[in-house]
Structures are given as C-alpha cells and as structure tokens.
A and B are shown apart, each in its own frame.
Chain A
C-alpha cells in the first residue's frame, strides 16, 4: 500500500528547532529548518545526519519549505544549505524572503561577533543561501517537478507566515507552521479551504489553552498607557524586533490618533526600523482594515511614532518607548529601565514571556530590589524598582479552539501534532480523536527522529470513454446521484502507463481480438407428472407470473426464452415423471440465469 512518512527532526513533542521530513509519493520534502533558542551547542540545529551521513543533501531532498521568518523555523537554513550542502529549491513567501536574511544576519552577529563562536555560517553564506530561495504568493500553486506541487495559504501569526499544502497526485499533506486563528491589529486570521489532506501537520503550542477575547487585553493595555501618560509618567515596553512590536505600534498609533494625544512615542532604531519598512511594503499580507485604508494612508507610516535616540530617555514629560530586547536582559531596554525604575509615576509593560534568570522575569515575579552588576551601566549596586510593572500577553498562536477550527476547515484524514509539549499534545490528541468530525481522525504525535507512517488510499485516475459513460448513464435512473457509487460494465485496458476504461466491443477492436461467447448450462431435475410440453407451458406461466418486467417468449419449437436464456425440458423414457430442465445462459446474463436456476429448483407451483 502507498503511504506517507513523516519524521520530525526537531519540534517533535518540543518547541523550537522546527524541522520535519515528509516523504510522500516518492518525494522527500523538508518542512522548515529552524534552530533551538535554548541550546548553544550542536543540539541547536536539527540533526541532518539522519538524512545522510556524508555528502550533500541535494540528492535526498526534493525541496525545502520555510513557513515563516522566525528563527526557530528558519535559523538553520544557511547551515543546512551551505555547510551541510543543499542546492535544491527553497520555497518561502515574499515577505519571509525579505525579512529572513535580516534576522539571520542579526543572529549570526550575536553568535559570532558577541559570543565569539567559530565554525558558524558567514554573511556570504546567508547571501548564497538566499539565492536558492524561490518566492511564492498566497494561493499560488507551484509545480516543484512534474508530480510535486505546493500551495501557500495565509496563516496570520507574523507577516508572511504561510501554511503549505504539499500534493503528489491525489495524496496531500498540509503543514501549518505557526498560525493564528484570531485576527489581531495588523494581521488577519489563518484560512484554508476544504482541501481534505491525508495528513494535517499542525503546531500545538497552546494545545491546552482556550484564550480570552483579545479586546479586554487591548483595552487594558491602552488604558494603562493612557493613564500613565496623562499622569505625566513614562512607559517602557520591551519588545522583540518583529511581530508583536508592530502590532503594539499599530495599536498605540491608532489610539493616539483617535484620542488626539500628543505625548511622543519612540521605538528603538535598528532592526525595528528596517522591519517596519518591510511591513510597509507587504501591505497585502496584513488585515482588512490596513489593506483597505492604505490608499489614504499606510498604517505603518507612523505619524506619532518616531525613532528613538539615547538622549531622549532623559527628556522631561510623558513618553512611550518601545525598546529591544524583549526580556530586559541587556541592551537598550535595560538601560532605559535603569533610568526610569526609580519613579513610581513610570510604568513597565512586558508584552511577552520572560525566560528565567532575566531581569524581566525577576521583576515580573515582584522583586523590588535588583542587584546590578554593571560593566557599562551608570548605576551599580542595588536598584529600587518603584515603577509599576504590568504583564500583558499578546501571543499569536492558535489556541485549542483555533486548532479545532482549522481541522474543521480542512477536514484532514489524519492529524499530526508538532511544535508543542508532549503532555499538552496528549490532551489535544485525545480531544481530536473524541470529537465527532465528518470523518474519524487518527492523531499522531511523533517525537524527534520517530517516523510516523500513514497508509493512504490514493485514487487511481482512469480515462473513460465518453460513449461508454453516456450509455451507462442512460441505463440508470433519470438523475445521477452524486453521493452513491454505481457499478458499470466495461473493459479496463492498461497500456503504456495509462489506464482506460472502454466498452468491451471497443476493447476487442483495439486489441484485435475476436469475441468469445461464454455460456453456462445447467440441468434442473424436477418431478412433474405432466407431459414435456405441458411442463414447459407450466414453466412459462410460472415465470411469467414471477418475472413481470422481462420479456418471456414461448417458442413453438419447445423452448422458453427469457431475455437470452433458453429453457428446454426433456425427459427420459424410463422415468417420464422426472423432467430434466435445461437452462442455458450467456455470461452477461449470469445474474438472471442463476436466479432462474434457483427458482426452478424450488419446483413449480402446483
């Protein structure tokens, strides 16, 4: 039986280092090629030796697909293509292709320049890698080779994030990457048509969470910022460069516009500025509101938000500052924090998760005094945290309900969960298998390196001759019922790698064969005291009463003909009462013939 094999090299029962191998219809595809944030050694990249021990990957992979630009989905790309070696096509959407190299370069700088690692990919490698990328558009079907085709769907999450449908013949797999089913201020919700894939590979980061409405959080956020600014305080929002930063910028920008506020908003220069540039360009990838209003004004051309300069931090009066990095562990956000921490009028809003050990984590847990070990800081020693601290989560992954919604949209035959914790997946797996869908779904959650095999039942296309189809249609009822299968008669010709269904006559003609008649004969013994002709007459009347809609003839030469079935009655001289009834029918009438023989075996009605 044909099957589809899925092997996660990363992200199997884990978050980070997304890399999934799929072999479908003889093609091998790598979905995402990410790195793990938590490791600094070899474990940070997927283990490509699973594919091949030595040598290049090109001959083992037909294509690589990158779902979006987050580093846990594309961080290992230059390593794989340039250092391990892969020359085939890499598919990603246009925005991903634009933004991905910026992040890779940034990542490289931090690892090589700051941490001083060697044996890492170089800027040139990133460039070379990007040359292998084939960009594609939403809903555009790309033919990788003659059989393999891929198609991208909108996924929300971040700018340019996409879900991919991979299709070989009638077998297909959908890979979601990260996606978001609830729209936010700058991106829409993920959408897919009812493509009924064999496997849906879905992320499951929030498998056990059902989230509250976004509006409450937004409102809270805006209210807090507004209050602080009105009070004359300063607001610090540590963010990562891409994604949430833009959402929050839009949120504040529109709020400032609506409320006619005058206090300045700044964002730290560098990455964010560059990224905003791309957001401006790829307006079609954003949500309805931004798409519709960009003719009047591009929402990413912020009116109220300006670039930040270090000296602004000491300016008097209220202001709002977005600064990197998000966890407050280093850099500009930490510097500003140190300056503002002492004033209770100020506020710190953490819009995302903080890893243990970072300053952000400590503050969020309510620590009021911080030990500062400073190289380049102004203040050393202890720092009193007097400013207000708020935590406000803006996450862009689908929650449990969202995942279910996607399943309902796509109606897959099988589910495969990746990119999540094992325990949470377990729960979702149970739920998926319990829920009543149109079809029963079996759900898998392979660990890294574990292969899941799904047996498929691909349909085999057969060419059918139009005449035959029309003839068969005419036989049936007045109206073809789409939902019910129907049997039809024909001859299947397998020739030159193609399958054709034609009428028997045509098949005979094409193959140059002559037709053979196949007849069955059958003798039925019957006790009947009448003469042969009378018996035949009685058979005739009996059949006439049973088979109403068939043509039954009583031919004078001593036979009864039902359609093409011939019935004769003979008897031996010894036992005149024992009649032998001879039935003969052709192969085509097998059904009727066997019916008649069983009917006659039961005897005639007296």
Chain B
C-alpha cells in the first residue's frame, strides 16, 4: 500500500506541475480509487489488468471510497475488450457493494446499463450475480427491486444456462408474490392483452428447461421464495413430482425438497392417485413419493430423502407403519420376518431354541396377483434406508426414525426392532447414533426380553463411547419382567469385570434401573443378596465393585418399596450405612424400620428433605432479604449477620443441590462485601503513612482476594444476567480503587501512581460503556458516585483522585444482589486418575509418558476453549495443557465429559514423587466485550483469522489429583 501511496504522490506532483489545482486535494488523502485507476491505466495487457484487479481485491476498501472505486471500475469496464477482465470487474462490483456502510443505490443504474451492451454470456451471468448482491442489500427499495426483476425476466430467454440460472436466482431472492409481474413491455407480435404473470408461474416454466442446471436453479429459486415467507401455490406439486424422476441427481435432490415443502404447506389437501379413482391426502402422497426416493440411485438424494422423512409428522399412521413393512416371500410363499418370528417365539414362551434348517420355511401360498413389487407407497422405505450401503444414508434414516417415533408411540414400538438391529452396524457412528436414538424414544417403549438381550450384547463393545451411551440408555429403559432385570444385572456385572474403568457409569446405570423397577427387583432380592432363610451366608466383600453394584440396585429399588428392607440381612444394613456415606449420590436415603436414624440423616430428613425445595428457596430469599435490610455495614452486628448468613448459605448449598449454585454465588458475593468492609474499617486509614506498612499487607491481601473472588463470580457461574455482572464489576472496581489507594500511600512516587490512575479511569469508562442500561439500578453505589465525579476525576491530579476515591469508597453503600432464575456453578471432577494408586508411573527421563485423564464437567460454557489441564510438578514447575476439541464429549445437556491424555516428562528423580493434576478454567477479563466485527470485505478474501481473545488468567475448576510418577534416568 505504501508503495501505492508514494506512487500517487509522485504522479500527482507531476500533475500539479502541469497546473491542475483541483486535483491537489487528493494529495492529502491518497485514496484507494486513485491507486486503482493508475494501475488500470498502466496495464498494457488484459493479463496485467487482471493481476492488478486480483491484488486490489485482497485489500478492504473503506465505505467512503467505494463509490469512487466503482466509477473507476465501470469506466474501465466500458473500455475493456477482454472478457475475463470484464468478468473480474463485474465480480468486484458485487463484492464492493457488499461493503458495510455503503448503500449501493447509486450504482444500480450503471450496473443495469452495463447489461445492455454485454455480448459475452459469462460476463452477463456475472453481472446478473452482481445485481443479485445489490438487490439483496436493498430489499426495501421496491422500485429498485422491481427494476431488477424486470431485467431478470428479460434475460430469462437467454440461450446460455448461466444467465438463466442467475435470472432465476434473482427472481427467487427478490421476487414477490403479492405483486404480480406485469410483462407489458413484452411487446408480443399479437400485442394482445398484457398477460399478468406472477413470479411463481414464471419460475415454474423453467421446471421443464432443457438444461438440468437451470431446472435445479428454478426449483432452488422456488425454495428461496418459500424461505422468504411467500406461499407457494399448490399447482406446482405435480410438476415437482415429475421432476423426482429426472435424470440428473441435483434436480432430483432439489425436487425432493420442493415436494417436502409443499407437503408441509398443504398437508390436508386431496390429490388423486393416478390410474385409480381414489384420492389421498397430499402429505401422504408426498410421503410415499419421498419414501420412494430412499432407494434412489444417487446417495446424495437418498440422504436427503431419508432426512426429510423424519420431519413429516402429519403423515397418517397407516402410511407411516408401511415404511417398516416389507412383505417377505420365498418361492411365492409368504414368509415371516425374523422380527415376527422372534416375537412369536417370545409369545409362545419358548426362548432360545436353536434354529433348525428351514425353520423359516414359508407357510402359506401367496396370491401372485396380490404381490406388488414396486409399491408406489411407502413400503419398506426405512428397511431399505437402514440397509443402505452408505453410512450417511443409514444415519439419516436412524435420525428420521427417531424423530417420527417421538411423535408417534405406536410407531416407536414398531421401529424398536429395527433400531436394535442397528446396534450391530459396521460403522461405530451409526451404532452410537442408534443407541442415542433409542434413548430418546425410550419413554414410549418397553423392551422385551429378546430385545434387551440384543441390546445388552453391545455392552461388551470395546469402544468406551458405545458402552457409556448404552449405560445411559439403560438408565431410561423400561423392561417388562424380572428376568430382564436379572439379565441386565448379569451383563452389567460382566461388563464391570471386563472393563473396570466403567465402574461409575455402571453403578449409575443400576441406580436408575433399580429406581425404575422396584416391583421387578423385589422378587429377586434374596437371590441378589444371596441370603438364605435358614443359613447364614458369608458376608460379601465390601470393596468388591460388583457387590456395590448389586447393592446400588437393591437400595434404589427399596426406596419406593417399603417391604424390601425386611429381606435384608444384618450386614446389608451396615453396608447401607457405609455406602450412604461414601457414595451418597448413588444410594438414596431409606426409611429403615426398627433402626434408629442417625443424627445427621435425621436432620436431613426433617430439615431440607427432598420435598422441601420450596422451603429451601424461601430460606435463601429470607436470608437475602435480611441482609438487604442492612443499610450500613459498619453498624455493629451487621458483620456478624453477614458472617452467619454466609455460613447458612454455604450449608444450604451443600444440602440442597438444586440451589447450590445460587447459594454459593450469594455467599461468595457477601464474602466480598464483608472483606471490603473489614478492609475499610482497618485502622490504617487514620494512621500516618509510614506506620501503616504492616496493616497494609492485610488490606492488600483482602483487595487481592476480592479481585479473585469477583473473577470467580463472573466466570464460574452460568445463568447470570447483565445486572449481576454489573454488580460484580462494581465490587471489582471498589477493590481496584482500594489497591490504588494502597499504592498511593505506600509508594509516594507520583509517576507510578499516575499510570495506575489512568488504568483505573479506563476501567471506570469501560464499565460505563458496558453497563449503560444497568446504571439506574446502581443508586447510591460506588460506581454511580464515581461517574458523577467523572469530569472532575479526569482532570484532577493523581493524589486528589486518590483522596476522592478514599472518601467515595467509605461513603458508598452496599448493593443488594438480585438473584436470577437459575445459577449454576461450573464444576469438574477428575474421575481418572483416582490418586489412590501406590504404584508409581515409571518412565525414562527425557521421554514422555501419557496419563489418561477422565473428568466430568458440569455447567461449563464453551469447554473446548476454556478448560485446560494443569500439571504441577513437585519442583514447582507447572504445565498447562490444552485438550483437543475432540476430547470433549457431551453425554447430556449441561454435562461434558473430558477424556484426554496428557504427556508428562521430567528430568530424573531419585525416588517416586507425586505430581498434581487439576483442571483450570481459563478466562479473560476482556472477554465480556464483543470482539470487534471485521469488515465484510475480508470474508471472501480468506484473510487471516483474528487472533483469539487473549487468556489472562485461570480459575481452579477441580480438586487436584495426585499422581505418583517416577522418571528413571536413562540407561546408557
């Protein structure tokens, strides 16, 4: 660019030598346009010109100079004889008119004029594309839009497909339905009455175009009209259906979409079935047609058809069920499907009979005329879709099944067999997806034993994701018999022995399984606990994960089945007490007959039991109200009240998990206030400066602590509203003011204070910018007072500023916190490594060892960018590792699972030592600001991605876990 500017200056100096004073103005601001003009004039050959244009396009143009640039480009356009250069100019015009802040009205005329003289089809198409961009920038200017539409209609008869394409696109993006297109200008030979046609019929004429690309464009234009909220007429339904059998896949693909759109618009209208007198609803007819496309030759179309099927909820159940129906026959005899056979086997009470040869032998003879091989209906569409060669099709089919099954319980029941079959797919993604789907529809279904059997077989899968998805599924599954429970338990225990890492997941799964089916668990309790009416059985090992698993199942079932505890033996009760304490999230509270309830559990039951969420909420509100009654924190007793409230809130958070977020949030906030008040009450303010160094340390730690806490408040909790954030920022400002005063007092140098003051004032300003709307809520607060004094502050000397701050700090009141609906505290637990191992992880110095980390994160926003792993070595070295985005999995809403590996390495140690691993939440105090939006110009240029907002600091997210490692010196 600088080269250009120099150039301009030189050139223009020459110009001024020739005494053209008007142009001198440009010297002060050498604009982009001038540079371009000169470049273009210099260009000797089209290739040169093209090069200049290309390099020109790489830089953004300011909105003010766009028009000038456009003029120059147009001027050059008329002079240029080479098609490729004109094409580039045309495309540049389009790009330029997208510049933000530039209104392209002024170039509409010129752009349309260029069309008239253009001979090259390609350039014409590009120009129309430019017009399209201009048109989309000016959707409100009806006159412009109308002109553009006229232009498009005029060029629709072009012989070049590209021009027709662009015209149709233009019509689709700009055409209106309400206002019919008049084609009066079309002076036909007969000059008959000017036929008024609307956009839709014009576009639908091109459904029969000879070029498949134009046909596609026509359908897409129609879809575009629909997207813009225009009502598509039903008359094109037949045309769209015909296009379903087009030779070209892109046409078929667009047509499938068109048919789908129409089916959503006119589901209830009646269409005739060809070659018969019957009539059916349009949605059923189109459903049948789209089903047919599931066996199309092109997989792209198949994927699309399968996807769209999922959203056709209005279809009649009878048609829906056909999609799973495939009449089997063998040598013209009717045959039952394996699914039907399995069902019958189950019904007859006969289970795993070894299948004999010809067991599936066909039974009745099929009436040959009754067999319809190509059914126009939906027959077996999903059967085909699920068997498709491409996994993309299979996945879409599974998804569609899910969506349809969610709206129709009877269909859910029917598709169960097919979904269960998909558990055996060759691609893991498909298996995983079908497990997820089954979980989503599990509310509608009850698994039969044979189905459960197949489902459970997947528990042995070596992929962890699959197993966990399956555990998740089992949590939500209803089963029908006690044998099913037993089967599930046996398989889960098998899973546990094969993959011990699944412990937590299996336990959780059994917890839900037990809670869901108390009556089914009841009859098998003696067997599960291996109790005997007469004999004492040996007490099982309490540390055996399998035994714990069984107990979790039984205890959860016992919760809603009061007769069950009678079956427990003595040690079971003891184990209950132990587990209730150690695994309280898995073992519920039980009312055990004839046993004294321990004090702690008694308090729990009477105080904030499970049903008393409301009372807990009231308690929370009451404590907040009580605190808010305080006007001045310096009054005696106020601080005590705060302290008690904080204690209460913390305890409440522990007891009532639903309110933990809110309670913790309030407690932390109050803690900040308390610290601040205490700091301000210190004696040091009255002391002379040199004496106060000792107190100083105390206050400065308080200030530091408040700052830390406010960052936690802002970034650790989700669900905050702007008002709360503003409140947090307010207290942060107070802490910063405190720090500023301390610096001013302890270090008398003015220079240092000056910088700190400026920084502080910037913070205040940014507060004002960010929370302008919230200011009314800050009556009598520190910030409000500061902002009032702002004009004075900016002009006064640093020392005065400090004084002002000191008084304001002391005078400012206490802002009461309003609680938002839901606050969640981000938290993380490291499941693996457990930190219990005594065997050090040995590795050779200088090489790396991989440590598997498995952690669950809750309520963390945007975990991919914010969560880091910290490794702290005993020598104080610390490493921060950024996990890959792929390591984060989302098993449920609000929950994220991090399974990753961190690489450790260190120089040699003499003996094994522990390192600490923990998760951190990275934040940046500037992240609340919106990142400046980059100019639209850059988007198409593929400029460098803007650097991510810098990360300032981190908050501890989880408790540290200790890992024993031992780097051994390398042997030489």
- Interface residue ranges, A against B (CB under 8 Å): 182-183, 185, 188-189, 191-194, 208-220, 222-223, 226, 254, 257-260, 287-289, 350, 364-366, 388-391, 400-401, 404-405, 408-409, 424, 427, 430-431, 435-436, 438, 478-483, 549
Contact = CB atoms under 8 A, between A and B. Distances in A.
Contacts of A389: 354, 356-357
B20 to A, nearest CB: 52
B332 interface: yes
A483 B327 CA distance: 38
B828 to A, nearest CB: 30
B389 A287 contact: yes
Contacts of A424: 331-332
Interface in B716-737: none
B328 A226 contact: no
B114 interface: no
B338 interface: yes
A260 B498 contact: yes
B424 A257 contact: no
A427 B368 contact: yes
B357 A391 contact: yes
Given A213-B421, A214-B387, A289-B391, A431 B373 contact: yes
A258 B461 CA distance: 5
A194 B247 contact: yes
B592 interface: no
Given A188-B389, A435-B374, A216 B339 contact: yes
B858 interface: no
B382 to A, nearest CB: 10
Contacts, number: 133
Nearest to B390: A288
Nearest to B422: A215
Interface stretch (B205-213, B621-629, B942-950): B205-213
Contacts of A220: 338, 355
Nearest to A218: B424
B331 A183 contact: no
Contact of A183 (B332, B380, B389): B389
A289 B426 contact: yes
A436 B275 contact: yes
Nearest to A182: B387
Interface in B372-393: 373-374, 376, 380, 383, 386-391
Contact of B387 (A213, A409, A482): A213
Contacts of B941: none
Nearest to A290: B426
Contacts of B376: 436
B226 interface: no
A194 B297 contact: yes
B337 A208 contact: no
Contacts of A193: 297
Interface in B182-214: 189-190, 205, 208-210
Q: What 10 pairs across the A-B complex have the smallest Cβ distances?
A: A482-B210, A216-B338, A183-B389, A364-B357, A391-B357, A215-B421, A259-B460, A260-B462, A478-B157, A208-B332
Contacts of B330: 208-209
Given A193-B297, A260-B460, A483-B208, A215 B391 contact: no
- Contact-residue size bin, chain B (C-beta under 8 Å from the other chain): 35 or more
25 contacts: A194-B297, A208-B329, A209-B329, A210-B326, A213-B326, A215-B387, A215-B424, A215-B425, A216-B338, A223-B457, A258-B460, A259-B460, A288-B389, A288-B390, A289-B426, A364-B356, A404-B373, A404-B374, A408-B295, A408-B374, A427-B332, A427-B368, A478-B157, A482-B208, A549-B190
B337 A189 contact: no
A360 to B, nearest CB: 10
A212 B337 contact: yes
A215 B430 CA distance: 13
A438 B245 contact: yes
A220 B383 CA distance: 18
A257 B462 contact: yes
A435 B275 CA distance: 12
Contacts of B295: 405, 408
A259 B495 CA distance: 11
Contacts of B461: 258-259
B463 interface: yes
Most A CB contacts (10 A, CB to CB) among B205, B359, B460 go to: B460
Given A215-B387, A219-B421, A483-B208, A210 B329 contact: yes
A200 to B, nearest CB: 15
Given A216-B421, A217-B338, A400-B373, 16 more contacts: A183-B388, A185-B426, A192-B297, A208-B332, A210-B373, A213-B337, A214-B387, A215-B387, A216-B337, A226-B457, A258-B461, A259-B460, A404-B373, A404-B374, A482-B209, A549-B190
B356 to A, nearest CB: 7
Nearest to B466: A258
A213 B386 contact: yes
Contacts of B355: 220, 390-391
Contacts of A408: 295, 374
B426 A391 contact: no
B15 interface: no
Nearest to A185: B426
A260 B463 CA distance: 10
Contacts of A365: 357
Interface string B285-303: 0000000000101000000
A211 to B, nearest CB: 7
Q: Which of A226, A254, A366, A431 has the most CB of B within 10 A?
A: A431
A431 B371 contact: yes
A157 B337 CA distance: 23
Nearest to B428: A258
Contact of B328 (A192, A212, A366): A212
A409 B297 contact: yes
B880 interface: no
Contacts of A259: 460-462
Nearest to A431: B373
Interface string B307-338: 00000000000000000001111111001011
A389 B356 CA distance: 7
A447 B98 CA distance: 71
Contacts of A215: 386-387, 421-422, 424-425
A544 B498 CA distance: 100
B338 A213 contact: yes
A260 B498 CA distance: 9
Contacts of B368: 427, 430
Nearest to A256: B462
B427 interface: yes
Nearest to A187: B389
A436 B328 CA distance: 21
A56 to B, nearest CB: 41
Contacts of A226: 457
Contacts of A482: 208-210
Nearest to B391: A288
A464 B295 CA distance: 40
Nearest to A189: B389
B208 A481 contact: yes
Contact of B189 (A254, A287, A388, A549): A549
Contacts of A188: 389
Contacts of B337: 212-213, 216
B373 A435 contact: yes
Q: Which of B247, B355, B359, B374 has the most CB of A within 10 A?
A: B374
Interface in B335-378: 335, 337-339, 354-359, 368, 371, 373-374, 376
A480 B210 contact: yes
Contacts of B358: 364, 391
Contacts of B328: 210-212
B454 interface: yes
Contacts of A364: 356-358
Contacts of B209: 482
Contacts of B388: 183, 189
Contacts of A189: 388-389
A508 to B, nearest CB: 29
